[in-house]
Amino acid sequence: QLTVGFSQIGSESGWRAAETTVSKGEAAKRSVNLKIADAQQKQENQIKAIRSFVAQGVDAIFLAPVVSTGWDAVLKEAKEAKIPVILLDRDIDPSGKDLYLTAVTSDSVHEGEVAGDWLAKTVGDKQCSIVELQGTVGASVAANRKKGFDTAIAKHANLKIVRSQTGDFTRAKGKEVMESFIKAEGGGKTICAVYAHNDDMMVGAIQAMKEAGLKPGKDILTVSIDAVPDIFKAMVAGEANATVELTPNMAGPALDALTAYKDKGTTPLKWIQTESKLYTAADDPQKAYDSKKGLGY
Amino acid sequence: MSRLSPVMITALVFVAGFAICSLQFPNFASTRVVANLLTDNAFLGIVAIGMTFVIISGGIDLSVGSVIGFTTVFVALSIERLGLPPLLAFAILLVLCAAFGAAMGAVIHFFDMPPFIVTLAGMFVARGTSFLMSTESTPITAPLYTAVSDFGIALPGGGRLTAIALIMLAVVAAGSVLLHFTRFGANVFAMGGNRSATALMGVAIGSMTVRIYMLSSVLAGIAGIVFSFYTAAGYSLSAVGVELDTIAAVVIGGTLLSGGQGSAIGTFLGVLIQGLIQSYINFDGTLSSWWTKIATGILLFAFIALQQAMVRLAGRSRTIRAGEVKA
Amino acid sequence: MAFQLPRRGLAQILALIVILLIDRMVSSQFFDLRLQDGRLFGSLIDVFNRGAPVALLALGMVLVIATRGIDLSVGAVMAISGAIAASLADSHAWPVAVAVALGAGLLCGLWNGFLVAVLGIQPIVATLILMVAGRGVAQLITEGRIVTFTSPDLAWFGTGSALGIPAPVLIVAGTLLVTGLVVRGSALGLLIEAAGGNARASELSGVGIRLMIVAVYVWCSLCAALAGVIAAADIMGADANNAGLWLELDAILAVVIGGTSLFGGRFSLILAVCGALIIQAMNTGILLSGYPPEFNLVVKAAVVLVVLLLQSPRLSGLVANFRKARA
Amino acid sequence: MQQAVEGRQPLLEVRGLSKSFGILRALDQVDFTLHAGEIHALLGENGAGKSTLIKVITGVLSRDAGTIRLDGGEIEPRSVKEALAEGIATVYQEVNLLPNLSVAQNLYLGRQPTRFGIVRDGEMQRRATALLAGYDLHIDVGAQLGHYSVAIQHVVAIARAVDLSARVLILDEPTASLDRHEVDMLFRTMRALAARGIGILFVTHFLDQVYDISDRITVLRNGRLIGERMTASLPRLELIQMMLGRELSETTGERVAHDRSASTPCATFTNYGKRGSIAPFDLDLRHGEVVGLAGLLGSGRTETARLVFGADRADSGKAAVEGKPVRLHSPRDAVRHGFGYCPEERKTDGIIAELTVRENIVLALQAKRGITRPLSRREQDEIAARFVKLLDIRPPDPERPIGLLSGGNQQKVLLARWLATEPRLLVLDEPTRGIDVGAHAEIIRLIRELCDRGLALLVISSELDEIVAYSDRVVVLRDRAHVGTLQDDGIDVSSILAAIAADGSVPAAAEA
Ligand SMILES: Nc1ncnc2c1ncn2[C@@H]1O[C@H](COP(=O)(O)OP(=O)(O)OP(=O)(O)O)[C@@H](O)[C@H]1O
Ligand SMILES: Nc1ncnc2c1ncn2[C@@H]1O[C@H](COP(=O)(O)OP(=O)(O)OP(=O)(O)O)[C@@H](O)[C@H]1O
Ligand SMILES: [Mg+2]
Ligand SMILES: [Mg+2]
């Protein structure tokens, strides 16, 4: 039986909770012993946790890095102890080094692009003023999702981001920021679409729009990222238009790669990219909701 | 003498805690764990020494966590983007930190404003400025950084006394001397005892205030440099919330938040106790995110309650005199 | 009598007006009001509505601070009560959900009060324990998820209205009224100010300090629990990870902007609420301004410093001297 | 010496000094002259502006108008530090030292002996011990100052100020908390300093001491200069008239007490004590009786008072009020039983500086009534106005924060706080400390009046004359134990002194 140490970031969002739950499930499915150390959002704690995994002599280490930099020294220690490291949901800097076996991540720039492309296609040639709800200032996911979306809409002169503020990835802040956007944009009449870096902020924004007497999903298009259950609920109600999935199942592919490596010695690809699937109202949101709601979001 | 006794109590609490951990986890009592305790908490130890001065003088400094964040970004950008030699970058940074601390101290003194609020604004400024500089995390690849992270004095039993641990020990030693054996230190205690009396005794409290906050910011800068050694990167969100850990460490170390009493060694022990709590949780390794938080709280309470009980016991044997200034 | 504006409140009221005027410059529709679904709607209403949780926290915090304490745990208490209310909302009638949530707040307050008044632990550390562990408890209740509910009854607390006025604003007004009546209608206010001003002297005058301290911590936690219910009701879900995160600092800031000293003594309820509104007016202004979010913290720091400098007696002294010198 | 003083250039010369706090004119065109080698007493009622004058001279407060000359040259000190640099050293009315530092650190703060920047602790302690030995004070200078009594703290403050090699030494009520022996010691020091050519400005409310030591007197009233006279040529009655602006019949000296031992007991303490603080004692306090506690500093008088009031918890013995056994575990218990207590350390244990005079007065009464029965604002105003008038608290503004009042007036407010509760037993620890002659007489009259109304009083005072004047019974303490009781005609200063020094070694002050 394999013992895997998993240095998880913490519990800052529903998505993160789901990732933890799914990872446990995937490990149980393969009867792997998964030890999860929670870092409370602190890199220091992750470094300490990895050191302690090395000291305990685990068979492999999964790392969901809270930031992309600063891992060289501690990963070197793991390498010297001949413990393979697999990165989950985020790559590290400088990437591609031989300090880790493989990285199971989504491409967050790509997620932004998928969202942007969908919006461009849906709007067509109409003029469209977009408001953007950014993630936490300084978080790399937020920067990447912004970058991807910006690239996608740069090709279309009719799409323009008119306002962009941080909603800290939370519902409450998403709602508050959207409220002020609506006031600043003439009661929301000039807003054609909202792009949120995650679904939680969008759920908040949808409430703000409804309270302002607007019809989200109809008057104002919505596109966001993560595909958490609640956004599907909104989709079912016709209040949300699109979301890009970030799968919480990073551990499954990682465990597969690990068993293949341990049993047969096959070296996996350096990057196992998870799919950034686009969901719209056409994709049976009710079914998606049912399948996701038990995952611990 | 009476200044020592809270320190003794904190030391006893630490030893008791360590013994309990060792009983529970067989591998715990090793030089490796002790060395890791020093390395992992090096930056905390350094800022906490600065905070000790501030708190003993009757103030508080909430900006230190942000100053650490600012430092890592500043150092990373100057070395990696501007190509400055690391030592030059450090020198510029420490000058900036000194100016920042001096500015806070000056506002506190000249406008007679509560330190809590001025340094809270300082916290926003430092964090905000690091956002403005860069929101991405920047890896530092300078050879000095590899050299520092490779350095270490091997201890019997597998432990390694790293460079940053040594820096912290040096800061603690220097801080102790400055606090307990110099005029500056005596003035710090005096200000915490009674600010206006200190002024009436001819101490220039304005310049003292400026210098105390300067010291705190400079030590936070050094802690930031140590943090950048630790992670070899600069990141605007690093060390969020460290100010609270620091204050907790200082107070656990027997320093009174109302000022006038405390010690550098006590603070060092307070930092170690905080580290011990972390290590305990890591060794346990089965706690979910929320149980980790709850356990941290419970352990914090246990340590403080233990300390409080010991203080009471120690106090009982002493005669309480009329008119004595109570703690 | 409870709502008599003290003369010293002038600076705060002026600051609020100036910031609102600046907001008007940033956004031309700032003062526009219209009726939307029987509820007033406009940026100005947002300031009151969004400021409600911090205003509630400040109402509790101001009493704690007046006794020379501080309560860092209010954010965590918000998370706990929100989590409880949201978990019970769909399975129980709303009075049950709210009562249980407030009951949890009561327990939290008793715990804090016990640590401070009975065990004699310094308030900042005593409440730090619940600040850390409390969020863990909240996450334990929600298991880290966002627990949503659909009950419109509970949602009223966040999004409902009466007579066109949003429910959170009404709740704050009600709490202000009740607190004012309790504190100024009884002798509590005087005794709190006495105890905060000089605890030893008050005790020697026969004031029972312990019970009073427990009571203010309980009241503070109750206010926080109410704020937690509003926050949960607002998004129709409990986000234990983020609800109330760092709001304790905003609450303390509001109290200090409201002119209450962190060293205890004199306090003003209405100015504390005014302080919360100043903070929110500033936040709303930042959101309306359209600046990139990297600037938020720096702007916030600048505004806070200016507002506090304006209140500083030293500054008015300097200005007077300057005038005299010119005349 | 007085002849020598005349005709020379004054050491310190103040002309036309004015200072206002808002509309209150604390100093109005005051002139003041101090010569080298002279001891000059600055006198006046409470709130006359003495402390304010001193604070302006030493740069603590800025002045509105006027000049200060030192040796003919105009000086303009803007801080204590600058004043010190000019050679003006001060001991302020409220001891302004640092209780959390050691005695030695307090003596040498800012000028500790150092080597390579490191304070030489041994050397500093050696010097401190030697310095205090010169004041006949033999204490552990390494211990925290806060562990010592106010009196010791005062001596330390004086030693510090003198040691700063000042040319002008200002002492604001240095003797208020000293006993005779210590006063004597202090006066010896002052004379020695004056002989060295130092000019000493000295504030006190003890007229005996004024005639004992001063060469010259300046009197202030309501912030205005009333006059400057040679001590030798100013009769006592005229001085009092200058101070008060009216005549005062000095009656405080004579004993008018009558035996009230037949009256009913108000509170009884049997075998009451606390280990390490005071040995178990028996004490019964009767209605309409004044019991005085006499003893040297540190003999346990304050400890007795705190135990009686429940501020410290007794660990042996029983207490009874009106014959019924009671529990006195906190001041709150005591207040409920109708006790009151004016502590000796007014600044730390008495006043609540930022609250108004009114709020300070009603505090104990309110605490006694409980939270749910607030005094209405009208009742508060009425009570405050009554006591401001009764005790002549100045300025007569009940809405002024008490911290802004002069020391003596603060003391009156504290007295008012307890009188407002209409107590059955009042414990007064040094009630007349820092109070001017007028108010002093007033307070003693009040004490007598109170016991005529059936109040039981327990009074601590270092002024034996005063104790003799109003006590029906005097309990004498030595070494933290009650060692004797004097009654009726047995009460006079010499028998008290004899009882204090029963071991034969009469304290030095006794002979004086
Ligand atoms: N900082 C201040 N603000 C306002 N008023 C003040 C201040 N300091 C003193 N006063 C007032 O000035 C007057 C003179 O006070 P001062 O302390 O000089 O009296 P004093 O002569 O020293 O009296 P005492 O013998 O009681 O010490 C008093 O009425 C006092 O209330
Ligand atoms: N001459 C002295 N030398 C050393 N210690 C002293 C001296 N005088 C007093 N002390 C100490 O100072 C402490 C405080 O004395 P305190 O003044 O409270 O005593 P007290 O009995 O209340 O006398 P009083 O009421 O006269 O001040 C005492 O514990 C005593 O041990
Ligand atoms: Mg005075
Ligand atoms: Mg005494």
Which protein residue has the closest C-alpha to ligand 1 atom 27?
A: D407
- For the CA atoms of B107, B108, B110, B111, the dihedral, rounded to the nearest 10 degrees, stands at 90
Pairwise CA distance, residues D47 & B218, whole Å: 47
Is D90 an interface residue toward B (CB < 8 Å)? yes
State the smallest CA–CA distance between residue B75 and chain C in angstroms. 19
**CA triple C68-C74-C76, angle to 5 deg:** 140
pLDDT tens per residue across all 297 residues of chain A = 889 999 998 888 888 889 999 999 999 999 999 988 888 888 888 988 888 888 778 899 999 998 888 888 889 889 988 999 999 988 887 665 788 999 999 999 999 999 999 999 999 889 999 999 999 888 888 999 999 999 999 999 999 999 999 999 999 999 999 999 999 888 888 999 999 999 999 999 999 999 999 999 999 999 999 999 999 999 999 999 999 999 999 999 999 999 999 988 888 888 899 988 999 988 889 999 998 888 877
In Å, what is the CA distance from A60 to each residue of A7, A45, A278? Answer: 11, 18, 33
Centre a 10 Å sphere on the Cβ of residue C252 and count the other Cβ atoms it contains: 26
Q: Which residues of B67-106 are buried (b: 16+ CB within 10 A; e: fewer)?
A: bbbbbbbbbbbbbbeeebebeebbeebbebbbebbbbbbb
Which among A103, A132, A118, A153 is positioned nearest to A245, based on CA atoms? Answer: A118
Q: Which residues of B are less than 8 Å from D110 in CB distance?
A: 183, 187, 201-203
Q: Which atom of ligand 2 is the closest one to the Cα of D150?
A: 17
Q: Which residues of A are less than 8 Å from C43 in CB distance?
A: 180, 183
Is A67 an interface residue toward C (CB < 8 Å)? no
Is A163 an interface residue toward C (CB < 8 Å)? yes
Residue B319: its pLDDT value, please?
A: 35
- Ligand 1 pocket test, pick from D21, D53, D360 with the greatest ligand atom count within 8 Å of Cβ, gives D21
Q: Which residues on neighbouring strands pair with residue B110, listed in sequence order?
A: none
Amino acid (1-letter code) at residue D124: M
Chains that touch B (3 or more CB pairs under 8 A): A, C, D
Secondary structure of residue D169 in the 3-state scheme: strand
Q: Please answer yes or no on whether B132 and C298 come within 8 Å at the CB atom.
A: yes
Q: Please answer yes or no on whether B252 and C125 come within 8 Å at the CB atom.
A: yes
Q: Which atom of ligand 1 is the closest one to the Cα of D411?
A: 26
Q: Please answer yes or no on whether B251 and C122 come within 8 Å at the CB atom.
A: yes
Phi-psi label, residue D288: left if phi above 0, alpha if psi -120 to 50, beta otherwise:
left
Pairwise CA distance, residues B134 & D15, whole Å: 63
Residue D157: its pLDDT value, please?
A: 87
Q: Please answer yes or no on whether A138 and B131 come within 8 Å at the CB atom.
A: yes
Q: What is the DSSP letter of D487?
A: E
Q: Which residues of D are less than 8 Å from C264 in CB distance?
A: none
D478 phi, psi to nearest 5 deg: -150, 135
Query: How many Å is the Cα radius of gyration of chain D?
Result: 23
Residue B135: its pLDDT value, please?
A: 85
Pairwise CA distance, residues B77 & A69, whole Å: 14
Which domains are seen in chain C, by residue range?
Answer: 39-290 (1.10.3470), 295-327 (no CATH)
Q: What is the DSSP string of B57-93?
A: TT---TTHHHHHHHHHHHHHIIIIIS---HHHHHHHH
Q: Please answer yes or no on whether B136 and A40 come within 8 Å at the CB atom.
A: no
Q: What is the DSSP letter of D68?
A: E
Which among B138, B67, C142 is positioned nearest to A12, based on CA atoms? Answer: C142
Q: How far is the CA of D405 from the centre of ligand 1 (A)?
A: 5
- Ligand 2 pocket test, pick from D103, D144, D145, D149 with the greatest ligand atom count within 8 Å of Cβ, gives D149
Q: Please answer yes or no on whether B279 and A94 come within 8 Å at the CB atom.
A: no
In chain C, the residue whose alpha carbon lies closest to the alpha carbon of D305 is C204
Ligand that lies nearest to the alpha carbon of residue D138, given by its number in the listed order: 2
Is A8 an interface residue toward C (CB < 8 Å)? no
**Pairs of CB atoms within 8 A across A/B:** 89
Q: What is the DSSP letter of D323?
A: T
Which domains are seen in chain B, by residue range?
Answer: 5-309 (1.10.3470)
**Pairing relationship of beta strands A271-273 and B152-154 according to DSSP bridges:** unpaired
State the smallest CA–CA distance between residue A76 and chain C in angstroms. 32
In chain B, the residue whose alpha carbon lies closest to the alpha carbon of D304 is B322
Of A20, A165, A183, the CB nearest to C43: A183
State the smallest CA–CA distance between residue C261 and chain D in angstroms. 11
Residue B13, exposed/middle/buried by CB under 10 A (0-12, 13-18, 19+)? Answer: buried
Of C72, C297, C315, the CB nearest to B131: C297
**Pairs of CB atoms within 8 A across B/D:** 101
The more confident residue out of C94 and B155 is C94
State the smallest CA–CA distance between residue A133 and chain C in angstroms. 10
Q: How far is the CA of D443 from the centre of ligand 2 (A)?
A: 25
Ligand 1 within 6 A of CB of D412? no
Contact B181, B31 (CB under 8 A): no
Helices (H), B134-259: 143-150, 163-181, 183-193, 195-200, 205-231, 242-252
Q: What string of H, E and C letters represents the secondary structure of D214-276? A: CCEEEEEECCEEEEEEEHHHCCHHHHHHHHHCCCCCCCCCCCCCCCCCCCCEEEEEEEEEECC
The protein residues having their C-beta less than 5 angstroms from ligand 4 (an ion) are D 302, 344
Q: Which residues of B are less than 8 Å from C263 in CB distance?
A: 114
Phi-psi label, residue D479: left if phi above 0, alpha if psi -120 to 50, beta otherwise:
left
Residue D85: its pLDDT value, please?
A: 84
Is C203 an interface residue toward D (CB < 8 Å)? yes
The protein residues having their C-beta less than 5 angstroms from ligand 3 (an ion) are D 51, 93, 406-407
Which protein residue has the closest C-alpha to ligand 2 atom 22?
A: D302
Split chain D (512 residues) into runs of 10 and give each run's mean pLDDT: 57 92 88 93 89 90 90 86 86 80 91 88 92 84 84 82 83 77 80 88 87 92 91 88 73 56 81 89 90 85 92 91 91 93 88 93 93 92 93 88 87 92 91 80 80 88 83 88 85 83 49 32
Which among B303, D147, B7 is positioned nearest to C121, based on CA atoms? Answer: B303
Pairwise CA distance, residues D56 & D434, whole Å: 20
ipTM: 0.86
Q: Please answer yes or no on whether D366 and C265 come within 8 Å at the CB atom.
A: no
Q: How far is the CA of D52 from the centre of ligand 1 (A)?
A: 6
Q: Which residues of C are less than 8 Å from B304 in CB distance?
A: 121, 125-126, 129
Mean pLDDT of chain B: 87
Q: Please answer yes or no on whether B296 and C296 come within 8 Å at the CB atom.
A: no
Is B125 an interface residue toward C (CB < 8 Å)? yes
Contact D435, D443 (CB under 8 A): yes
Ligand 1 within 6 A of CB of D411? no
Residue D185: its pLDDT value, please?
A: 77
Q: Within chain A, how many helices (H) and strands (E) appear?
A: 10, 12
pLDDT tens per residue across all 327 residues of chain B = 344 467 888 898 899 989 998 998 877 888 888 888 899 899 999 999 999 999 999 999 999 999 999 999 999 999 999 999 999 999 999 999 999 999 999 999 998 888 988 999 999 999 999 999 988 888 888 899 988 888 888 888 777 889 999 999 999 999 999 999 999 999 999 999 888 889 888 888 999 999 999 999 999 999 999 999 988 889 998 888 899 889 989 988 888 877 888 899 999 999 999 888 888 887 776 778 888 889 889 888 887 887 777 777 765 544 333 333 332
Q: What is the pLDDT of residues C14-49, one digit of tens each?
A: 889 999 999 998 888 888 888 877 888 888 999 999
Pairwise CA distance, residues D248 & D73, whole Å: 41
In Å, what is the CA distance from A238 to each residue of A192, A280, C105? Answer: 16, 10, 38
Q: What is the DSSP string of D24-61?
A: EEEEEEEEEEE-TT-EEEEEESTTSSHHHHHHHHTTSS
Q: Which residues of A229-252 are buried (b: 16+ CB within 10 A; e: fewer)?
A: bbbbbbbbeebbbbbbbbbbbbbb
Pairwise CA distance, residues C192 & C260, whole Å: 13
The more confident residue out of C171 and D193 is C171
In chain C, the residue whose alpha carbon lies closest to the alpha carbon of D351 is C201
- Ligand 1 pocket test, pick from D226, D406, D411, D412 with the greatest ligand atom count within 8 Å of Cβ, gives D406
Mean pLDDT of C1-21: 72
Residue A8, exposed/middle/buried by CB under 10 A (0-12, 13-18, 19+)? Answer: buried
Helix axes C209-235, C152-159, angle to 10 degrees: 110
- Tokens of residue B122, six digits: 């300082």
Q: Please answer yes or no on whether B235 and A93 come within 8 Å at the CB atom.
A: no
Is A110 an interface residue toward C (CB < 8 Å)? no
Is A13 an interface residue toward C (CB < 8 Å)? yes
Model confidence at C181: pLDDT above 70? yes
Secondary structure of residue B179 in the 3-state scheme: helix
Q: Please answer yes or no on whether A8 and B285 come within 8 Å at the CB atom.
A: no
**Percentage of residues of chain C with pLDDT beyond 70:** 94
Question: In C39-122, at which residue ranges do the beta strands (DSSP E only) sit?
Answer: 39-41
Ligand 2 within 6 A of CB of B321? yes
Centre a 10 Å sphere on the Cβ of residue B177 and count the other Cβ atoms it contains: 14
Is C148 an interface residue toward A (CB < 8 Å)? yes
Sign of CA dihedral D467, D468, D472, D476: positive
Whether the link from the prior residue into B114 is cis, omega within 30° of 0, is no
Question: In chain A, at which residue ranges do the beta strands (DSSP E only) sit?
Answer: 3-8, 33-38, 60-63, 85-88, 102-105, 128-134, 159-166, 193-196, 221-226, 242-245, 271-273, 278-280
Is D99 an interface residue toward B (CB < 8 Å)? yes
Ligand that lies nearest to the alpha carbon of residue D224, given by its number in the listed order: 1
Of C191, C200, C266, the CB nearest to D366: C191
Which domains are seen in chain D, by residue range?
Answer: 12-247 (3.40.50.300), 264-338+423-512 (3.40.50.300), 353-422 (no CATH)
Helices (H), D312-461: 331-336, 357-369, 377-390, 407-419, 437-452
Distance from chain centroid for Cα D273: 27
